[in-house]
Copies of this chain bind each other. A is one copy, B any other.
Amino acid sequence: MLDDRKLDVLRAIVQDYVATHEPVGSKALAERHNLKVSPATIRNDMAALEEEGYITQPHTSAGRVPTDKGYRLFVDRLAGIKPLSTPERRAIQLFLDGAVDLDDVVGRTVRLLAQLTHQVAVVQYPSLTRSTIRHVELLTLAPTRIMLVLITNTGRVEQRVMDAPAPIGENLLADLRARINGKVVGKRFADVALLVQDLGESFTAEERPIVTTVLATLLDTLVEQQEERVVLAGTANLTRFGTDFPMTIRPVLEALEEHVVLLRLLGEATEPAMVVRIGHENMHEGLASTSVVSVGYGSGDEALAKLGVLGPTRMDYPGTMGAVRAVARYVGQILAES
């Protein structure tokens, strides 16, 4: 049904439309891309493409515009991923290398991604669920007040304050700290509950309540913080969307404020490969005319979290995909080093 030339025409339409933001006509196509056929022929092909639902015209006798389905075909079969230039790569590395801690890494990453793609960038903090524990620290703030600090292998730090049922001695605390760390250091979050469950038994009846409190808080932290953190940058780039503004930008800004929505946009975290969601594929009303390019990143083989960008469906997919992939790789490296 769709011979090679028709696909060439579709590719040309997408490219031109992305470049100009205006419906593209047969004549312009014939001129700008050397397709070696006349406008009339192209018109026939366009009619076929429209018939199949890959392109559409805003109104009779206007040029054609790709549909979501058209972009989908373009991304899947007609375009590759455009690698970044060497200077660009070097700039990324230089910029990310300057980070001092995890917050800084994430902050720099999101700004970098926004600047590189001229779109809205979203970065998820390395997930706690798939992280391992580097250290658990216990501090007394007051006789019956304890702070628990949890440090992960990705450098993420979580803290909780709890009220102990009774005053707690320094040596009990030290003992408890040592035992907990002995059990859990290097272990994954998911496995911790099992590992510490019988820890209370080796303490005296007197100490037991305190131990229980601490362990409960530890588990609580592990569970609660699965609520993932995300940051974003580059919202000003939304103004490039078009001139028919408020109606377009409003729901997008609203969606971006909801972290739940953001996380869903990045995709179910199981998939480490690059994912492109186009228009309605996002399953979110306000984001019907935006696309999301996301990919997992991590220090080793497996993805710790995701990052990506959000932009208008009429975006430069090859370039955006290239930037997203490159940034994800470098962040992975940085995290592996620290």
Query: Nearest-CB distance from A226 to chain B (Å)?
Result: 13
Interface residues on A, range: 35 or more
Q: What string of 1s and 0s marks CB contacts (under 8 Å) between A102-145 and chain B?
A: 11000000000000000000000000000000110101010000
List the B side residues contacting A160 at CB < 8 Å: 100-101
Check A238 for interface membership: any CB of B closer than 8 A. Answer: yes
List the B side residues contacting A151 at CB < 8 Å: 139, 147, 149, 159
Binds B, one of A44-52, A62-70, A86-94, A249-257: A249-257
Binds B, one of A25-33, A208-216, A228-236: A228-236
Check A100–B224 contact: CB distance below 8 A.
Answer: yes
Query: Nearest-CB distance from A209 to chain B (Å)?
Result: 21
Check A20 for interface membership: any CB of B closer than 8 A. Answer: no
Check A200 for interface membership: any CB of B closer than 8 A. Answer: no
Check A139–B135 contact: CB distance below 8 A.
Answer: yes
Check A338 for interface membership: any CB of B closer than 8 A. Answer: yes
Check A204 for interface membership: any CB of B closer than 8 A. Answer: no
The residue of chain B having its C-beta at the shortest distance from the C-beta of A239 within the complex is: B250
Check A236–B250 contact: CB distance below 8 A.
Answer: yes
Copies of the chain in the assembly = 2
Check A149–B137 contact: CB distance below 8 A.
Answer: yes
Query: Nearest-CB distance from A257 to chain B (Å)?
Result: 6
Check A157–B155 contact: CB distance below 8 A.
Answer: no
List the B side residues contacting A157 at CB < 8 Å: 149, 157, 159
Check A238–B253 contact: CB distance below 8 A.
Answer: yes
Q: What string of 1s and 0s marks CB contacts (under 8 Å) between A232-273 and chain B?
A: 011110110001011001100110110000000000000000
Check A164 for interface membership: any CB of B closer than 8 A. Answer: no
Check B134–A137 contact: CB distance below 8 A.
Answer: no
Check B235–A257 contact: CB distance below 8 A.
Answer: yes
List the B side residues contacting A253 at CB < 8 Å: 235-236, 238-239
Check A193 for interface membership: any CB of B closer than 8 A. Answer: no
List the B side residues contacting A233 at CB < 8 Å: 257
Query: Nearest-CB distance from A83 to chain B (Å)?
Result: 28
User: Could you say which of A102, A141, A159, A234 has the most chain B C-beta atoms within 10 Å of its C-beta?
Assistant: A159
Assembly CA distance A102 to B159 (angstroms): 9
Ordered by A's residue number, 8 sampled pairs between the chains whose C-beta atoms are within 8 Å are A101-B161, A102-B159, A137-B139, A155-B161, A235-B253, A236-B254, A236-B257, A243-B246
| Beyond A101-B160, A243-B246, A245-B249, 7 extra complex contacts between A and B, CB < 8 Å | A101-B161, A134-B139, A134-B141, A137-B149, A235-B256, A235-B257, A236-B250
